Amino acid sequence: MAGLSWRHPLGDCAGILPLAALSLLLVSAHPGVHALELGGRTQFVRAPWKVVLTSYTTNVGQSPAEYFFTLRLDEQAGASLGGLTIQQTRGADWQFPFAVERTRAFLGVPRREERPIPVQASFEPAARRFTLSFPEPVPPGATVTVSLRPWFNPIQADTYLFQVTASPAGPNPMTSPVGVGTLRIYQPNDW
């Protein structure tokens, strides 16, 4: 059978992996790689996809109040967590104030806190949006909780929703939606 040769029907390029698949292989083959970059943007391979909002004070106007936003990074995230955006998207009270300087973060979940994580926070009252950054990015596989502290709970009973997006650590990060945290504030019966 000398002289016979076989060519792939798609031509000589068929053996070349698409850029995204090649990047995924590089990330999994080299555990020291901390971020996936495509087109000059840092992104997650597997972004966090769920947020849980916990509060132990749920009555109108109750103080002190603390809202815990917990998310878990997949071990194959492909990038560390560099920051979060948390924005109120629903609720009857759009004026209740936050003590931004009291924002904190830690590994673990509420009431089972592990070590603290440095966090920098800013709050835009008109947009009802927190922007959080982690000077020491949170590594893949970690569970992280951010605590936001209003001076008191909203003064109107309602279901309050907070949209959360995550940013990978690295240049020009591409944000990923994580989910919506739900906070129910109740009016206690006075009878």
Is 9 a domain residue? Answer: no
19-23, 45-49, 133-137: segment of lowest average pLDDT? 19-23
Q: Which of the four pLDDT bands, split at 50, 70 and 90, describes residue 38? A: low
Between 111 and 23, where is the model more confident?
111
Is 85 a domain residue? Answer: yes
Query: End-to-end alpha-carbon separation of the chain, Å?
Result: 96
Q: Which of the four pLDDT bands, split at 50, 70 and 90, describes residue 126? A: very high
pLDDT of residue 191: 57
Is 2 a domain residue? Answer: no
Is 161 a domain residue? Answer: yes
pLDDT of residue 17: 41
pLDDT of residue 37: 61
pLDDT of residue 189: 79
Is 8 a domain residue? Answer: no
User: Model's pTM, two decimal places?
Assistant: 0.80
Is 4 a domain residue? Answer: no
pLDDT of residue 40: 76
Structure tokens at 52: 């849980």
Residue 5 pLDDT exceeds 60: no
Q: How many domains does one find in the chain?
A: 1
pLDDT of residue 28: 39
Type of residue numbered 108: G
If 0-12 CB within 10 Å is exposed, 13-18 middle and 19+ buried, where does residue 190 land?
exposed
In whole angstroms, what is the distance from residue 78 CA to residue 40 CA?
Answer: 15
Which residues span the domain enclosing 63?
16-185
State mean pLDDT over 157-173.
96
Computed from CA positions of residues 119, 180, 81, 94, in that sequence, does the dihedral angle turn out positive or negative? Answer: negative
Is 11 a domain residue? Answer: no
101: CATH: 2.60.40.3550
Is 7 a domain residue? Answer: no
**Secondary structure (3-state) at 52:** strand
**Secondary structure (3-state) at 5:** coil
